[in-house]
Chain A
Amino acid sequence: GAVVSQHPSRVICKSGTSVKIECRSLDFQATTMFWYRQFPKQSLMLMATSNEGSKATYEQGVEKDKFLINHASLTLSTLTVTSAHPEDSSFYICSADTSGGAFWGETQYFGPGTRLLVL
């Protein structure tokens, strides 16, 4: 099956610094990628939808200036958490889609996630 990777898998940073997380589709081209955040024992919350070559669409309540998303190619999307604070500590997951976002389920391939801890 299709593979999506994320890097890094775990990152610890100081409050006020910026952190970049990469999401790559390794063996397919993804026109659409999604970024999620998951707090312990909470549901997966969609943060934004990233389309290659265009601006990301952010979900309500997600600060676009704080969570910068860049989808520069069909295989790479990046999420930058700017001026991170302890409340940004969470598990960040990306998914890559082969249907342009029209369908879900079997056309969505999730990355392994990135654990961010802000001290």
Chain B
Amino acid sequence: EDQVTQSPEALRLQEGESSSLNCSYTVSGLRGLFWYRQDPGKGPEFLFTLYSAGEEKEKERLKATLTKKESFLHITAPKPEDSATYLCAVQVYTSGGSYIPTFGRGTSLIVHP
């Protein structure tokens, strides 16, 4: 069974304190790995798509990387407005032609000023 595990479950940082969030996966036939940001009471907001091991994407203070077993979301010098839940999802190839992704439970990030 395909699994996506995110760690830590919750993370508290001081403003400016860089850190990384982890998304490990056990799937066969990875088609893509996605990172989303979700604010309380809102729908997820797309951040990145990674397709192959070694790929990296950056956006402002965020950088996503991918290996064959996990992905990291690095947050450099975070600000309080980066506080949110970060979701990881993996999409696999299926014989039935389905492309539905499996989501992790997310990491709740709080950045204190």
Contact = CB atoms under 8 A, between A and B. Distances in A.
28 contacts: A41-B9, A41-B105, A43-B105, A44-B44, A44-B87, A45-B103, A46-B100, A46-B101, A59-B100, A91-B41, A93-B43, A93-B44, A103-B99, A104-B34, A104-B91, A104-B99, A105-B32, A105-B48, A106-B49, A108-B46, A110-B43, A110-B44, A110-B45, A111-B43, A112-B41, A113-B41, A113-B43, A115-B41
A106 B46 CA distance: 6
Given A101-B99, A104-B49, A104-B89, A43 B104 contact: yes
B32 A102 contact: no
B42 interface: yes
A91 B36 CA distance: 17
A44 B103 contact: yes
A41 B43 CA distance: 14
Interface of A: 4, 6, 41-46, 49, 59, 91, 93-95, 101-106, 108-113, 115
B78 interface: no
Contacts, number: 58
A105 B34 contact: yes
Give the secondary structure class of B's interface.
strand
Contacts of B100: 46, 49, 59
Contacts of B87: 43-44
A102 B99 contact: yes
Contacts of B48: 105
Contacts of A103: 32, 99
Contacts of B34: 104-105
Contacts of A45: 103
A46 B44 CA distance: 13
B105 A112 contact: no
Interface string B83-107: 0000101010000000111111110
